[in-house]
Amino acid sequence: MGRCSLLAIFVGLILAAAAGMTALVRPEMSASAEAIPDSAPTPVPADACAWQWAYRPLGAEMARSIERDLARVGIRRATVAGTVLGESCLDAGSGEMLYFAPMETDLTVEVPAGDLNNDAVLSRRTAKVLGVLLEYSPDLTPGPAPGQITLVFSAGDVSTRLEFSDEQAARALDQGLEGAALLEALGPEH
């Protein structure tokens, strides 16, 4: 077989694969978006699915549970939201969504803070928040993979955020980091 024939086969395979691929979709997270239930449906065999990347909001029950646990450790008035990344199983023939298979949960926690420049206070609050979140992730949240955490401290109209992975958070706590060192390990832009 000549080079042109191999190239034509290769290009044909790429085009065929591209034609069968589904698009990445991220529906707006609004009241009309379907929230992830706290229990997963019984899936159909994976080979019956045409898979499509998808996002869903975290179930309100789980968000409230995390907020209650945060309040128990002294983090009051915190709000929790989450996004579950996964794949929708679409019926290969009809395109009807059969179920959503979660892969990971990303959490955002907003915490009121009096002084955004006080690293000692922010790091104590951060350690408390992480202690709670790491009890949930990934074992109790939808999806088997570790997710991302966004921690937003706000004081009036001003806020600062830290964005990091579950693994990064666990490592920082395991190392016993405190104060500015903890905040630096989680995100240099605090």
Q: How many CB atoms lie within 10 A of CB 81?
A: 16
- Summarised one tens digit per residue, pLDDT across range 93-137 is 898 999 899 999 999 999 999 899 999 999 999 999 999 998 886
Residue located via tokens 């309100």: 60
pLDDT at residue number 8:
34
Domain ranges for the chain: 57-83+104-186
- Summarised one tens digit per residue, pLDDT across range 2-12 is 443 333 333 33
Q: What is the pTM of this model?
A: 0.73
What are the CA-CA distances from residue 75 to residues 70, 71, 119 (Å)?
5, 5, 16
pLDDT at residue number 11:
30
Architecture (CATH level 2) of domain 57-83+104-186: 2-Layer Sandwich (3.30)
- Summarised one tens digit per residue, pLDDT across range 10-41 is 333 333 333 333 333 333 333 334 455 444 55
